[in-house]
């Protein structure tokens, strides 16, 4: 190295050392978090200083704010293709999906600095490329205030839980109503990160843990990846977090409200949530939840350590994890994957495991204000409880996957959503009349109050054969692909977050044509005279169903539904299941 190069190098290091790289959070005495503009400015400063950091945006919020992203790579790679051509795994760190729960932003900014500016943690990107979203819910972040999180101890001011459209992004991963989520999905499916972390602050009971976690281990995730999580990821991370002063436990949810001694439960995470969504994409997703009552400095420090120790494991395990994900994708895309039923929902088993839980002494109190019961915790009296943890789930609703699905072109809202999820598809070029297996709904009941702007529907259904014409542009989905679980969770009506459940297909439940009573009376007489089987069915129903017999409108409706004038499309699911491989192959060539 020449003398001039040496002088330049040491001058560069001296300049970095002399500069003040403390974050806004650190300068505030660990009590405050920066605004959107201040956050973006710090990100751009990082990117402008280090060739290992690239600042990008991946979408625009409803209020017009760019969605910020830092790409951190040892060799300055900044596209998904460049990283795929290397041996690196990709780690997506997401902060601020609930912008009042902003610990991950301040932890991530310090982590980026310590990796690429000071170089203290430079080894953490030896085999890992980091995608860091400092703020996902950017509009909610700017609804800044001191009173946005009643249960939470700091920062001094924070953002709001939902978006400017009042949507909770952490209920939106599969249905993708929010523009921010649609941008996120495009980014996710372009990069397909091998590991994902979603940073939150939890509500709920009180206990000693500063940080709890959730990572899918109940059968939604590929079995080999579950084994990797349980054997290769969690043990070293738990040990390292303990050594860092932050013992961790799985996300805390008690069987009875805030009652520690009732025991803990877990759940199989549905794909409306971040870690449930990455699981059906065959990739582990880590939910980080710091505890609301702990001070802000402790929470940010715990998040920082959890991300750091996760990176340590990923740098050690990058080859193994990458190979397991390739294998999981291949297995999901194989015809053999459809030989066994796919669980769509899970239920609790009665099995439990005894665990030690670091809580506080507490008492149940009858309120003299509300008259209800509440729990008072004594934080000056820590106590270790021995409690049951009901952490075993078993499949509930299961289905056998078809060879493929076909979605009529007129359902563009559904087609647009499907395309967001990285699904391989074929669009028909010519119309096709086709008889497929599908579902006919009955006994539909809608939730009374809206949830995420929708009224979810519960229903029963029968499997039927149904013929219709599929016009050019209709979507054909071959289930021999890595996103088969994603497709099933969108299109199988009984899946917990299916498009039917969320109300995308509500219009198929509606009756659009009617018959006048005097027309029906004449029509009914002709039907009874010409159809002895129908007459027998009618007389039997009159005899056995007193409510029906006493209701002229119900009787008229009964005849109308059996007449040739009835709308055969009512209650019929428009999406078809293609169960014959030869039929599917022919459609794929259309």
Distance CA 393, CA 502 (A): 24
Q: Which pLDDT does position 218 carry in this prediction? A: 85
Helix axes 484-491, 412-420, angle to 10 degrees: 150
Question: What pLDDT does residue 16 have?
Answer: 54
CA–CA separation, 439 and 541 (whole Å):
25
Identify the pLDDT of residue 3.
53
* Residue 26 is assigned to a structural domain of this protein: yes
Is the separation of the CB atoms in 383 and 392 below 8 Å?
Answer: no
- pLDDT value of residue 15: 52
First-last CA distance in the chain: 63
Answer whether residue 220 is part of any domain.
yes
Q: Identify whether the C-beta of residue 170 lies closer than 8 Å to the C-beta of residue 137.
A: no
Inform me whether the pLDDT recorded for 1 exceeds 90. no
Residue 256: what pLDDT? Answer: 87
Buried b (16+ CB within 10 A) or exposed e, 300-315: bbbbbbbbbbbbbbbb
Q: Residues for the chain: how many in total?
A: 590
**pLDDT > 90? residue 243:** yes
Per-residue pLDDT for 6 more than 70?
A: no
Q: Are residues 156 and 248 in the same domain?
A: yes
| Mean per-residue pLDDT over the chain, rounded | 95
- Indicate which CATH number applies to the domain containing 280: 3.40.630.10
Q: What domain range is 309 assigned to?
A: 21-330
Same domain, 319 and 353: no
User: In 3D, which of 477, 479, 467, 474 has the Cα closest to residue 428?
Assistant: 474
> What mean pLDDT comes out for the span 317-345?
98
- What is the reported pLDDT for 434? 97
Residue 188 lies in a domain: yes
Whole-number Å distance between alpha carbons of 253 and 268: 13
Tell me the pLDDT band of 18, cut-offs 50, 70 and 90: low
> What Å distances lie between residue 436 and 335, 470, 479, 586, 588, CA to CA?
20, 11, 16, 14, 15
Residue 19: pLDDT band with limits 50, 70, 90? confident
CA 412: distance to chain centroid? 22
Whether 358 is covered by a domain: the verdict is yes
Cβ neighbours of residue 434 closer than 8 Å, sequence gap 6 or more: 406, 467, 468, 469, 470, 576, 583, 587
SS3 341: coil
Q: Do both 324 and 353 map to the same domain? A: no
Distance CA 167, CA 184 (A): 15
In a domain, 199, yes or no: yes
The answer on pLDDT for 2 being more than 90 is no
- Is residue 269 a contact partner of residue 404, using CB atoms and an 8 Å limit? no
**pLDDT of 288 strictly over 70:** yes
pLDDT of residue 5: 44
Based on the domain organization, do 56 and 203 belong to the same domain?
yes
Rounded average pLDDT over 14-28: 82
User: What local confidence, expressed as pLDDT, does residue 532 receive?
Assistant: 94
Q: What is the pLDDT of residue 17?
A: 53
Is residue 203 pLDDT above 80, yes or no? Answer: yes
pLDDT above 90 (res 47): yes
Same domain, 144 and 225: yes
The answer to whether 415 and 426 are in contact (CB under 8 A) is no
Based on the fold, state whether residues 248 and 147 are members of the same structural domain. Answer: yes
DSSP string, 350-372: S--EEEEEEEEEEEEEE-TTTSS
The mean per-residue pLDDT over the stretch 134-139 comes to 99
% the chain with pLDDT above 70: 97
With cut-offs at 50, 70 and 90, classify the pLDDT of residue 257: confident
Flag whether 7 is in a domain. Answer: no
Average pLDDT over residues 106-125: 98
Rounded to whole angstroms, the Cα distance separating 504 from 495 reads 14
Whether 315 and 434 share a structural domain: no
Same domain, residue pair 171 and 143: yes
Q: What is the pLDDT of residue 439?
A: 99
Give CA separation, 522 vs 516, 526, 528, 558, 560, in Å.
10, 7, 10, 14, 11
> Using one digit for the tens of pLDDT, what is the confidence trace for 61-74?
999 999 999 999 99
Q: Which is it for the CA torsion 309, 311, 317, 323, positive or negative?
A: positive
Judgement on whether residues 406 and 380 belong to the same structural domain of the protein: no
Is 14 within the bounds of a domain? no
Whole-number pLDDT of residue 128: 99
H or E element: which one contains 45? Answer: helix 36-49
Chain centroid to Cα 137, Å, comes to 15
pLDDT of 431 strictly over 60: yes
pLDDT at residue 350 above 90?
no
Tell me if 341 is assigned to some domain. no
| Mean pLDDT, range 414-433, rounded to an integer | 98
Number of domains the chain contains: 4
- CA atoms of 198 and 196, how far apart (whole Å): 7
Give kind and range of the element (H or E) at residue 111: helix 103-116
Q: Report the C-alpha gap between 344 and 58 in whole angstroms.
A: 31
Q: Sort strands 195-202 and 89-94 into parallel, antiparallel or unpaired.
A: parallel
Same domain, 315 and 440: no
Residue 9: per-residue pLDDT: 45
User: pLDDT tens digits for 94-108?
Assistant: 999 999 999 999 999
529 lies in the same domain as 460 = no
Q: Which range (2-16, 124-138, 165-179, 503-517) has the least confidence? A: 2-16
Residues 27 and 126 in one domain: yes
Query: Quick one: DSSP state of residue 164?
Result: T
State pLDDT tens for residues 437-471.
999 999 999 999 999 999 999 999 999 999 999 99
């Amino acid at each position: 190295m020449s003398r001039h190069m040496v002088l330049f190098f040491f001058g560069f290091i001296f300049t970095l050392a002399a500069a003040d790289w403390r974050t806004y959070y650190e300068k505030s005495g660990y009590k405050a978090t920066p605004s959107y503009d201040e956050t973006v400015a710090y990100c751009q400063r990082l990117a402008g200083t280090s060739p290992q950091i690239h600042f990008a945006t991946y979408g625009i919020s409803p209020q017009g704010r760019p969605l910020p992203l830092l790409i951190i790579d040892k060799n300055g790679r900044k596209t998904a293709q460049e990283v795929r051509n290397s041996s690196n795994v990709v780690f997506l760190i997401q902060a601020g999906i609930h912008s009042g729960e902003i610990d991950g932003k301040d932890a991530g900014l310090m982590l980026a600095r310590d990796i690429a500016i000071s170089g203290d943690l430079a080894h953490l990107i030896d085999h890992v490329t980091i995608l860091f979203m400092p703020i996902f819910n950017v509009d909610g972040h700017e609804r800044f205030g001191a009173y946005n999180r009643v249960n939470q101890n700091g920062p001094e001011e924070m953002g709001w839980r939902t978006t400017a459209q009042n949507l909770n992004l952490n209920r939106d991963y599969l249905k993708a109503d929010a523009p921010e989520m649609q941008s996120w999905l495009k980014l996710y499916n372009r990069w397909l990160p091998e590991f994902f972390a979603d940073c939150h602050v939890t509500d709920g009971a009180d206990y000693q843990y500063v940080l709890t976690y959730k990572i899918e281990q109940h059968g939604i995730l590929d079995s080999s990846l579950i084994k990797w999580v349980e054997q290769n990821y969690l043990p070293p991370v738990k040990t390292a977090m303990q050594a860092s002063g932050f013992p961790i436990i799985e996300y805390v949810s008690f069987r009875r409200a805030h009652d520690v001694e009732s025991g803990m439960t877990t759940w199989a995470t549905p794909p409306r949530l971040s870690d449930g969504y990455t699981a059906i994409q065959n990739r582990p997703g880590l939910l980080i939840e710091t505890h609301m009552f702990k001070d802000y400095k402790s929470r940010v420090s715990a998040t920082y350590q959890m991300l750091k120790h996760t990176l340590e494991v990923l740098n050690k395990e990058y080859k193994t994890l990458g190979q397991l994900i390739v294998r999981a994708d291949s297995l999901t895309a194989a015809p053999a994957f459809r030989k066994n039923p796919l669980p769509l929902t899970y239920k609790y088993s009665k099995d439990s495991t005894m665990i030690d839980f670091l809580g506080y002494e507490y008492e149940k109190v009858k309120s003299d204000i509300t008259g209800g019961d509440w729990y008072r915790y004594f934080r000056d009296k820590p106590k270790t409880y021995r409690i049951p943890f009901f952490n075993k789930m078993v499949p509930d609703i299961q289905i056998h996957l078809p060879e493929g699905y076909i979605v009529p072109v007129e359902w563009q809202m559904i087609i647009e959503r499907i395309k967001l999820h990285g699904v391989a598809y074929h669009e028909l070029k010519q119309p096709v009349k086709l008889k497929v297996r599908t579902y006919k709904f009955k006994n539909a009941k809608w939730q009374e109050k809206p949830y995420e702007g929708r009224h979810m529907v519960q229903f029963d259904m029968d499997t039927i054969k149904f013929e219709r014409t599929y016009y050019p542009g209709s979507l054909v989905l071959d289930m021999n692909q890595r996103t088969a679980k994603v497709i099933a969770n969108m299109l199988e009506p009984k899946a917990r977050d299916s498009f039917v459940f969320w109300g995308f297909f509500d219009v198929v439940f509606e009756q659009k044509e009617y018959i006048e009573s005097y027309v029906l009376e004449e029509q009914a007489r002709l039907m009874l005279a010409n159809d002895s089987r129908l007459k027998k069915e009618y007389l039997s129903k009159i005899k056995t169903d007193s409510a029906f017999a006493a209701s002229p409108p119900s009787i008229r409706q009964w005849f109308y539904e059996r007449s040739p004038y009835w709308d055969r499309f009512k209650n019929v699911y428009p999406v078809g299941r293609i169960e014959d491989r030869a039929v599917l192959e022919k459609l794929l060539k259309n």
